[in-house]
Structure 1
């Protein structure tokens, strides 16, 4: 490592500002501050209980993706349509299952009350006080054979707009104005509440909490303006709305459900007088679901008296969880699908797999042999280890097997397709795509009559970035007998969406796990490998592969960052500014992405920003759907919208979606950058970012650099402390429990 020697210009003064919590790994607190994600949630409101102007663009909302023609579905619209079809299929499957949610063992008190409430909801009744005195529900029903995911409806020649009717928007606009809320929220409210949204909002003003960025205190002020003295903190409508809002906030933090005590404590902090009643009412209205999951005995000992034949059944510890239906059904569907893959291994292609294993060598041979004998295999390793699943893909296709590989980002697809063995073929010819492209039907093989992908093998790289919904859709898309490989680096940040699928599977040990022994080369590889095991050590960097730039405050950090990108790295390393990425912990603050992008735009592409703050040539980060970020460049703007070039493809973002889905992209957060790499990376660590650092964040940020890494360092000892001590914060998920009941350890 060396200290940046290239410039002697004095840095300008600056005052540190507290950044927005990046949430690389967020705490299990159900109502966290806005966290770092591929697209940070836009908050259009001011402080306190009133509404005000928001700051920032494209930090959370989804935007259109396509070529702007009226005759095509965009990639994002096709993906969302596929998700709707999948959710409908899951709901139909769940409706066919008999019995109540698993009760586990004997319960009493609030836990038993909540489970009785679930039973009442399933029977079509609203729980009453007497219902909560009933015993625990019946045992969990046996899971039927998972149904294959139906094929999405092909895109029609003409696509009608999904925007709400104008008269609905105008009616909602009037209600918002009457309640003192921003009228700009009208399209979102109309889309969320549908026809008759104005009446629904008048009847229940707290429905405003269904709009991203609205806080409970703001919804309270809106309700007071509409209802006057008829509303109060004990209003059951408020209790339900705040409960659902807390569960949505927990999902943004990565949880698929919340422990009941955590949820009730959060409701108490939000001023709900009777949290238990609020949860009960939310369950009664089917706005959330409750689950009772048996916990493993940490001692592993048998119940007392079992050896003596006393026939006594010891009560097992359980936990009661509450979650939103969409994530609960996705997690159960994922567990069912994984069990199907493990238990339905096809022997039809056994000879072909044997031929592939015979032709492979080294670590690839071990991986091929594992896949030949198992329906689900996990593969772990860093960047260099991607060569092994790439070789597996080529070996399978060489013996006539239908194989396809998907990555998290277009850049990941490019890097995988360029690995040895496929240099002369483009991504499609080699059988490589993205998760979003495969699910939307834009990439990959076709589907059979049952809607299943025509594949014998699906390889998913960047597996830690899979959330439960995407993972469920992938697994349910595979036919019986197909094999699946999930490959990724377990040390990077988890998915932006709820769940921790890859980590849960590694913990469950429900299938073979192949760990690559191929290390990442060079000083950067050595540095990042050490961080992965909690060691931040100095490495030899004779070619200035790693440079440390000390700074005193956030203002100097911004100044030095611009200097590195514009001058030092191009001159000393030979990497131009357009091949350098800046990574910082959060969007806000004096050295967050907003401040850095403003400074970089001023130096690299100054302009008036005539179209929503953008000019041709601006680097951008485009969010075609929540949880996805695609880097690109602004081409032009016209009446159709903002024209972008993203991953070599033209994209037109309609004018009304620009603010919610496009932001400047010279500087990114680590979550936005995960899954991609650049020739050079400048990681900015101002002093006010110390609390945001963790080992996964540092590992992910430093690992985005291929040839050169500059660290703008202002956190002093907080950096080695975070690497050594601050691990990924836990997420509450149900997948390990569901897998234990369906897949024995070891598959």
Structure 2
């Protein structure tokens, strides 16, 4: 492992200044070593002076303000502002340098340029004439409520992490886009008269009228009367927070409104359970829920929970604890409270998994034929084939190299005449596994495509998938609802293999299905012993066991690039993607991805994508900020990200190519579902690998790092990994000490009650 070599410096005919030379040559081949002489505190001070970073609270306020300011903005003007901003910012940076009587370093100039660019864009927005979108001139409570809702719905602002540890200042949280668990949505668009009635109530309560359609959709027919009778029903709309619903209720109810109102207690209880789902929990323990209610100003938390249970808004469960029981003592239990949608999904999943575990699979092929197939392979692949021969559910764990064993299973089962399909998490993962199995007709789909019917074997007369064996790759990405749908779709006698790397980040949706199954030990588990090759494999394997190793990288497979602040991190990242990696490693920019902990901040995906677009595909952004050739990250649904690029734009919408699949995004959906995609978060990148990865670790991300995050980000690289390192000792500390945050789920207890025997 080495610092960035001299041969990978700027391709442009200029000499690096002294600060850059010092950063590039600083000590370095050890990832766990300090990247430079300046500490985290010094980096924060320098960044604050340069205006580059924001605290968490300031970042959220900026996100909300940015969303409100952008309302009604003309796309062509925005694109022109983006195209002109670089030149103006550069001129302003030069002017500031001249005014100060000294020449700024390139990193300092870039910080100045970013600040001036933001100011210039704001001036242009203020000068725009023409129609303004409804709600853009609101102020006070209404403006805050509208900004919060738009921020969450567009994915710009992370949902509240009520049940996670309070984030420290300067953290760049991830992921930003999460599954939004809201009340069941009525089929079809709401009737115009229902929307109009809701609009009247919102206007009386000082809420933005743009919420009329979402409220009417969520509450259904009779929404006006329901909202008047219980204003806190506004909390059922994603993005609305309790303090905003309180203001709306005060405006409607006047003196009748109070913190002890039982309607408020029930609504806040449901809202907290929804926030828990965003954090990955399928249910909450009663003490955790009552403590959160108390923090939200509910005078009698237990009564509020009982009210929600009595109204059917939530369900309560008893879950037995795995503790030694003394003679004559009852088994201890814990009381859990959860939303019906996740309770039903988890119970359905447990039923389906128990059916697979307890039933003998269909006799497809003789025992001798299965044994011959296993004998034709070796190691864990042979163990996997033998396990699948006699069991309905099998777990297979390992790194990227272990996918070859799953491919051998698919080929062997196909040779026995079974109808075999595999399902990957992403289209890119689908293509990569198809190549392992043997070509485009290898029977590999995405999980979403198979469930929707757009890909895969189709359904039989009973509505089950027409297959005998399903191999699900990237199994840690299965949330409880997706897993339940898959298991429910399997015909009687079918076999299911869940394969994946337990070290990566868990699913965006609630639950930890794969980890729960590994923990309960109710079915065969085949652990791959095939190591990932080369220096990258050695580095990632070390991270998986909590060690940040120094690895030998003679072919520059791993390069450390120390930086002092976020501005320098952005500059060095652009340099690596555009110049250094293509020249020294031979990987072009379109095959390199940047991974950073969050969307916000001075070195988040938004800032990095803006800088990378300016360098790699500058243009006016005439269609919602996008131009042909732009790399994008398309989210057709919360929690799903498809990397691709822009082909063209016309009256139909924005035409994309995502892993070879043509996609057309209507103009009204572009803002909410398409981002620039040179830089991604680790959750967006999971399930896909690229020839080269640039992992950006700015100083404000130190507290957001964890072992699963580092393992996932570093593991996305096939040939080369550059680490833009600005967190000093926070990186080895995170790898050694910060594991995945626990999630409260019911699946282990449900399976334990239905499956008696443990499998060693």
Match of 2:435 among 418, 424, 439: 418
257-266 vs 451-460, greater mean Cα deviation: 451-460
Report what 2:660 is aligned to.
Answer: 648
1:368 counterpart = 2:385:
yes
Map 1:497-508; keep pairs closer than 5 Å.
497-508=509-520
1:59 to 155, 172, 185: 155
Partner of 2:397: 380
Deviations 1:337-361 (A, max 9, x none): 1110011113522515345334433
Choose from 579, 586, 593 the match for 1:574. 586
Q: How does 1:287-298 map to 2 (within 5 A)?
A: 287-297=313-323
Please say if 1:468 is aligned against 2:480.
Answer: yes
> How far apart are 1:199 and its partner, in Å?
3.0
Deviations 1:660-681 (A, max 9, x none): 2122211111111100111111
Matched with 2:306 is 280
Q: 1:645 to 1:655 in 2, by over 3 A?
A: same
Structure 2: give runs of 5+ residues left out of the alignment. Answer: 10-15, 21-45, 58-62, 64-70, 72-135, 158-178
The Cα of 1:565 is off from its aligned counterpart by: 1.2
Residue in structure 2 matched with residue 112 of structure 1 by the alignment: none
Q: 1:698 to 1:46 in 2, by over 3 A?
A: farther
1:251 paired residue number? 277
Matched-pair contact (CA < 8 Å) for 2:655–2:663: yes
Greater shift, 390-399 or 203-212, is seen at: 203-212
Offset at residue 19 of structure 1 (A): 7.0
1:405 aligns with 2:499: no
Distance in 1 (alpha carbons) for counterparts of 2:653 and 2:196:
23
- Quote how far apart the aligned CAs of 1:179 are: 2.5
* Aligned position for 1:344: 359
Partner residue in 1 for 2:620:
608
2:571 matched to 1:559? yes
* Residue of structure 2 aligned with 1:318, choices 320, 326, 333: 333
**CA distance in structure 1 between the aligned counterparts of 2:193 and 2:556, rounded to whole angstroms:** 62
Give 1:190-339 correspondences, 5 Å limit. 190-297=216-323, 300=324, 303-304=326-327, 313-339=328-354
Alpha carbons 2:152, 2:238 under 8 Å: kept: no
Give the CA deviation at 1:487. 0.5
DSSP 3-state at the match of 2:691? strand
The DSSP-based 3-state class of the residue aligned with 1:631 is strand
Contact 1:345–1:482 (8 Å) recurs in 2: no
Deviation for aligned residue 1:51: 2.7
SS in structure 2 of the partner of residue 430 of structure 1:
coil
Give the gaps of 5 or more residues in structure 1. 22-33, 35-41, 62-79, 89-159, 305-312
Counterpart CA distance in 2 for 1:656 and 1:167 is 23
Where does residue 553 of structure 2 map in the other structure? 541
**Which of 725, 729, 753 is equivalent to 1:741?**
753
Structure number with the higher helix fraction is: 2
In structure 1, the residue corresponding to 2:503 is in which secondary structure?
coil
* Alpha-carbon shift at residue 195 of structure 1 (Å): 2.7
Query: Cα deviations across residues 519-538 of structure 1 (Å, max 9, x unaligned)?
Result: 11111111001000111011
> Contact conserved, 2:308 with 2:314, CA < 8 A, in 1?
yes
2:453 corresponds to 1:441: yes
Whole-angstrom CA distance in 1 between matches of 2:618 and 2:260: 53
Give the superposed CA RMSD: 2.7
Matches within 5 A, 1:35-46: none
Query: Whole-Å Cα distance in 2 between the matches of residues 569 and 55 of structure 1?
Result: 35
**Equivalent-residue separation in structure 1 for 2:54 and 2:402 (angstroms):** 38
Q: In the alignment, what sits opposite 1:122?
A: none
Cα offset, 1:18, TM superposition: 4.7
Shift of 1:642: 2.2
The equivalent residue for 1:92 is none
Separation in structure 2 between the aligned mates of residue 684 and residue 474 of structure 1, nearest angstrom: 36
Counterpart of 2:94 in structure 1 is none
Give the direction of change, closer, same or farther, for the CA distance of 1:339–1:580 in structure 2 (3 Å limit): same
**Aligned-partner SS, 2:601:** coil
1:440/1:555 CA distance change after superposition, 3 Å:
same
Alignment-derived partner of residue 177 in structure 1: 203
Structure with the larger RCO, 1 or 2 (CA within 8 Å, 6+ apart) = 1
| Residue of structure 2 in register with 1:151 after alignment | none
Aligned counterparts of 1:378 and 1:46: Cα–Cα separation in 2: 54
Q: Check whether the contact 1:633–1:645 (CA below 8 A) recurs between aligned residues.
A: yes
- Find the residue that maps to 2:317 and give its secondary structure: strand
Q: Deviations over 1:281-321 (max 9, x none)?
A: 10111111000111111xx4x532xxxxxxxx412111000
Please give the alpha-carbon distance, in whole angstroms, between the structure 1 residues aligned to 2:56 and 2:447: 29
1:184-221 deviation per Cα after TM superposition (whole angstroms, max 9, x unaligned)? 33332222122333333232221221122211111111
Q: Tell me, in whole angstroms, the C-alpha distance in 2 between the residues paired with 1:172 and 1:637.
A: 36
1: CA distance between counterparts of 2:638 and 2:692?
Answer: 27
TM-superposition CA deviations, 1:146-179 (whole Å, max 9, x none)? xxxxxxxxxxxxxx99433444334433433332
The number of aligned residues is: 618
